[in-house]
Amino acid sequence: MRKKFLTVFFILLFLLCLSVVSATDENTNSSIVAQDYDGNEFYVDLGGDDSNSGQLNSPFNSINKAVEVSNPRDNVVIHLGEGTFEGNGNVMISINKAHLSQGGSITIVGAGADKTIIKGSSAYYAFNIYADSVVTLRDLSIVDCKSVEGGAICNSGTLLVDNCIFRNNFAFNAGGAISSIENGDCKIYNSVFINNSVTCNDEYGNANGGAVYSLKSDLLVDSCRFVGNFAKGNCLNAISGGAIYVGAYLNNVPSVKNSNFINNYVVSTSFRTNWEYAKGGSIYMINCNLFNDSFINSSVTGNNGVGGSYYSEPKYLNSISNILRINSSVNGVLESNIYPADYDGKYSNEVVVYVSVNGNDENGNGSFNNPYATIANAIAKSAGNVYNLKVYLLDGVYSGAGNTNISLPSSMNIQIAGIGSKVIIDGSGSNWFAANERSISGFKYVLSNLNLINFKAKSTGYKKENNIGVISNYADLTIDNCIFKNIIGSSISNYDLANLKVISSSFVDSKHLGFYGGVLFNYDANARFYNCIVNNYSSTDIFYSTAVNTENVYLEFFNSTFKNLKSFDSRCKFLGASNTNVTMSYVNYADNDCNFAVAYDKSFVKIDNSVFKNSNWLSGSVNGMIWDVCNSSFININSLTFSSINDYKSNFNGCLFDGGNVEFRGNTITVGNSSFYNNKVIIVNNDNQKGNLDFNYNYWNNNNPKNMIDTTANVKLNYWIVKHLSAENLFNDSYKVVISYKLFDGSNYKNYDVRYVPVKPVRFILITSKGSNSLDSGTLINDIFEFINTANDDRNVVVSFTDNTKLNITLYNQHKVDTNIDLSQKTAKIGDIVEINVNIKDNKTGLAVDFGIVEIYLNNKLISSNNVTGLAISKSITVDESKSFYNISVIYKGNNKYADSSNSAILRISSIPLETVIISKDLTKYYKNGSQFDVVLKDVLGNVLVGKIVKITINGVTYNKITNDKGEARLSINLFPGVYNITVLFEDDDNYVKSLNTNKIVVLSKIITKFVDNNKFIVKLVNDDGTPKTNASLAIIANGVQYNRITNGSGEARLNVRLNPNNYIFAVTDGQEVVSSSVNVLSTIETSDISMFYKDGTRFAAKLYDSNGKIVSNKEVAITVNGVTYNKLTDSNGVAYLNINLNPGVYGISASYDGKTVYNTISIAAMPVTIVSSSIHIQQGTFYKVKFSDALSNPIIGQKVGIFVNGVMYYRETDDLGVASLKINLNPGHYMITSGLLSNAYEAKTMNNIITVSGGYL
């Protein structure tokens, strides 16, 4: 017995030692941690072999091999080493052994969830567990699996999961990570589910349980975390359970307890009226118990969605207790938050804490006025209690413990931000800054507005485990507006599918003395840089990126600048890449003396809209690099070399290569729409003349490309772009010179669009034979310029370009031209033949013009078109009776040398009367101001007609007027104010045709009136010209009374009016004119008569208005009724109220305000009464009760009541319930009883009952 005890003791001691080593030495080389299990044990390692024995020193290579050799009756433990297990033998494993009925089981245990990973490569599931099989999974991760149901695991047996991570698994119908069905039993402890999903777009399909699905199975989930899982689809069935779907169970009611659900969601895009398509953002359950669970930021989106956090079918009784729910929503509408009774603030949606160099970690509370002293303490105080933590640093220099060497927990989103302008964190030359935890949590981290100086990487090297930067990241990290300065080692290390985003940050004045990644060491992860600057940096690789355990990762740069990158030995370079997709967009890369890049394995480099200049290059490769470069410039680059992988195509389009040599290496290279200004272009084919090297459609600095290329390869070069010059004389003292570019094959030219070819501008100089120019020099690129000749004469111009091309121009001035028309006669009769002669002469020389076209028009109709030859042009016309005159016009159309010109002439036909034109305008005048109506009579040719009678008709009277020597006639207008139509008629005679015109005459009154403010009548007099007539007498007749007034300096006189509301006619006269005005005096008090019952709640209302009809609030109105006056204020609607509590009758009531009073009548009738009695069967000694209510069903309280019974009248008073009670002491028998109110204010109404009195007092 003692011997057995000692044996157990030493085994426990050995295991304890192992656990201590495991906890303190993360870099141990041991890939398998042995544990003591009963039964058979097998080992699987990436370095093993399936032909091995499967023992510790001879492990298998695949998981399936270990499963296959297991005995269904044994309790088997399969140990998995570190690394990623994928492909044949490690996925799609069916377990139909370890039978429960035979006492067997299989336990598969990893080296840690962050160390042992089973990967489905987005194509395969991991395990299919059959009925009667007992399986335990512990300390491992299952990622990137895919299946129809149960993306990672489909379970019909007994499954236990402990301390595992399920990430990025996917199913088409149910259970993105785990599906437990058909008599299964599934227990999950201490595990994390991140970004698992189920998606279905089949109309009749399902999408349930983004992470876990349970149906006809028992389920227990305890102490787990579900982050970012989702279910979505477009199908007729409901989309349910963003994280967990719990359907019908087998033996025990499923439970989910002590677990956290964060950012899970359901989305349904299907729609049918009254159908619920989206249920349970985190959990959907038919039968399930929830206890001590938290739901943060869960959501449901979809038609008639329900349960943003969880949804329980109402027909089932589920136990839900001690639940925390924060910020969950349905279709964007927040659900009410739920807090447990013992809630202590855990998972507050957002907490802000402040840190200051003057803060205190012991006594501070993290507020702005009482901040903490260190970043680490601010984080520790909130860890586990907050969903979003923002740590704000006030101005100052932070250093030492708590502000450096910080481990960031994975239990929340964390932002560390400087809120001052001088937030500096100093690493003192020996410390690193921050690292988030190695476990994958799904939370995000942000560093912003920080100056990080004098930091040293935790370790340096070219391997993942050796290169731990100043910041090491395993998650989603954003660095915004930060400065990294004087950094030793890698500024940032980015690992294991992490996503790094760096925005508007600078990396300056630093040296990386170890291997790889001065700014970034990127290992199996992705990184993007936006608007960043790297300046004065030295490193073996300033950026290093590799993909070892995953497919190609990406490293991207946008709108960033890299300059003054230094070289301390030949290994220094900007970029080292392996299996990496590199993007450089709108990058400025300048003044760098390190090499550019070396690529290992297959790396893609995409460059667009970037500039590289004044730098070294020397891009080498081990297995080559694939290039995709467009719209970028390479200027003065030493050793500019593009080396490509032999079997992949590299493309260069729209690039500028200027200065130095450029070398292309590879078998499949296409370069087009680019420009070469280099001394030499070297093309190397690695495949013995079998490659495809296409260099067509490029510009070679106007040279023959064959003179610039150095190659022995078979290069396609049939077309190249050349410059083409042309010129056009505009004659208008200017010239147009055109530079264009065309495609050339050595013999022929073709048009070609070079808008996207980066041809450099060419400078030109103008040399003229005399005079001066508006332009004498400039630059051109596929463009046009014009210059103006300031000399008076024609001259020669030479356009010389700096690339030794030249264009000779003869510039001519454009000459003005005179067009002369001669008619054989000015006046003609019908039947006459008239000759039209046209001569075109140079205005400058007086010589006949011998170029162009002359067009002759008769009454705007073209009758002749002739070429100009220097001789006169003639055209004959025969006069007919169609017109009284002919309009003859001539248009000369010249060219660049001779300007266009035109002329016209009139031929009068004497035997046909001329049309006439009456010219008159509308007239607006003041009454009797002397203004006259003017008329001018002309013929159609514009000649005035003298001594002609025009008839002017206005207001029913016609006046005959004779035109004077200017063709004018006038009529004085002395009509009363008003608007009149006036017509002017000229009747025809032998020589002229009849004409008619109509106008409008407006006569304005010189008396202007207006009524304002409901009490002021204002009169304004004006003079004949409309100016105010001052100090003038006038009379106002209002309501039968005449008032005499004198106008003031504005021509106005006023009459104050205090009349009752009504319409009145006011008359005004100034002795010459009488004006009548309608005056409407408005009421300023609005009331109405009232008919009501006694005390029925009706109120008398008086509404006040100002003189403009707007309501008046907060003003006092006097209301008088029954001899008493009450002063009441109007409310915001301008209404004042008075409660009416008078006895029945008819009353007069008045309301007074601002000197005005209105009268109304109030009619009050007696209040109708309802009478209800108690039971008519009454025992001696009890009460007979009668209740009285008014018409509003209110009890009538405190009123006298008469009750008449057995010949006696009893008087009672109603109580608070409107009840009057009479104790009945009559002998047994039947009695008539009558009840009624004794008040004139109430309806005279009685109630008769026959009561039956029974004997015996109670």
Rounded to whole angstroms, how far apart are CA atoms 484 and 532?
A: 11
**pLDDT tens digits, residue range 93-145?**
999 876 767 778 899 999 999 899 999 988 789 999 998 889 999 999 999 99
Rounded to whole angstroms, how far apart are CA atoms 685 and 939?
A: 92
Domain 1085-1165 has CATH 2.60.40.420: no
Rounded to whole angstroms, how far apart are CA atoms 926 and 1022?
A: 9
The pLDDT of residue 16: 33
How is residue 491 written in tokens?
């500024």
Domain 1169-1254 has CATH 2.60.40.10: yes
Rounded to whole angstroms, how far apart are CA atoms 1129 and 569?
A: 93
Helix (H/G/I), strand (E/B), else coil: 100: helix
The pLDDT of residue 1156: 81
The pLDDT of residue 14: 35
C-alpha closest to that of 295 among 316, 276, 268, 322 = 322
How buried is residue 1189: exposed, middle or buried, by Cβ count under 10 Å (0-12/13-18/19+)? middle
For residue 605, the cross-strand partners are 582, 627
Three-state SS string across 638-691, please? ECEEEEECCCCEEEEECCEEECCCEEEECCEEEEECCEECCCCEEEECCCCCCC
The string of DSSP codes covering 918-931 is EEE--EEEETTS--
Q: List strands edge to edge, sheet with 1052-1056.
A: 1007-1012, 1016-1021, 1052-1056
- Fold of the 916-1004 domain: Immunoglobulin-like (2.60.40)
In Å, what is the CA distance from 760 to each residue of 498, 658, 766, 807, 1220?
Answer: 43, 10, 20, 19, 111
What is the distance, to the nearest Å, from the Cα of residue 801 to the centroid of all Cα atoms in its chain?
A: 50
List the chain residues with pLDDT less than 50. Answer: 1-39, 274, 440, 769-774, 782, 784-791, 1257-1258
How is residue 145 written in tokens?
């699996």
Q: Evaluate whether 272 touches 310 at the Cβ level (below 8 Å).
A: no
Q: Evaluate whether 1075 touches 1068 at the Cβ level (below 8 Å).
A: yes
Q: Evaluate whether 906 touches 940 at the Cβ level (below 8 Å).
A: no
Q: What angle do CA 997, 1001, 1003 make, to 5 degrees?
A: 170
Q: Evaluate whether 122 touches 144 at the Cβ level (below 8 Å).
A: yes
Q: What angle do CA 1092, 1096, 1097 make, to 5 degrees?
A: 105
Rounded to whole angstroms, how far apart are CA atoms 226 and 263?
A: 8
**CA atoms within 13 Å, Cβ hemisphere of 671:** 27
Q: Evaluate whether 795 touches 789 at the Cβ level (below 8 Å).
A: yes
The pLDDT of residue 36: 38
User: Looking at domain 721-811, which CATH architecture does it have?
Assistant: Sandwich (2.60)
| CATH 2.60.40.10 domain range(s) in the chain | 817-909, 916-1004, 1007-1080, 1085-1165, 1169-1254
Rounded to whole angstroms, how far apart are CA atoms 488 and 491?
A: 8
Rounded to whole angstroms, how far apart are CA atoms 240 and 231?
A: 7
Q: Evaluate whether 788 touches 766 at the Cβ level (below 8 Å).
A: no
Q: Evaluate whether 913 touches 990 at the Cβ level (below 8 Å).
A: yes
The class that CATH gives domain 817-909 is: mainly beta
Question: Position of tokens 């080493």?
Answer: 81
The pLDDT of residue 763: 62
- Fold of the 1007-1080 domain: Immunoglobulin-like (2.60.40)
How is residue 932 written in tokens?
């006259």
Rounded to whole angstroms, how far apart are CA atoms 7 and 988?
A: 145
The string of DSSP codes covering 1112-1167 is --S-EEEEEETTEEEEEE--TTSEEEEE--PPSEEEEEEEEETTEEEEEEEEEEPB
The pLDDT of residue 988: 86
How is residue 40 written in tokens?
């058979």
Helix (H/G/I), strand (E/B), else coil: 42: strand
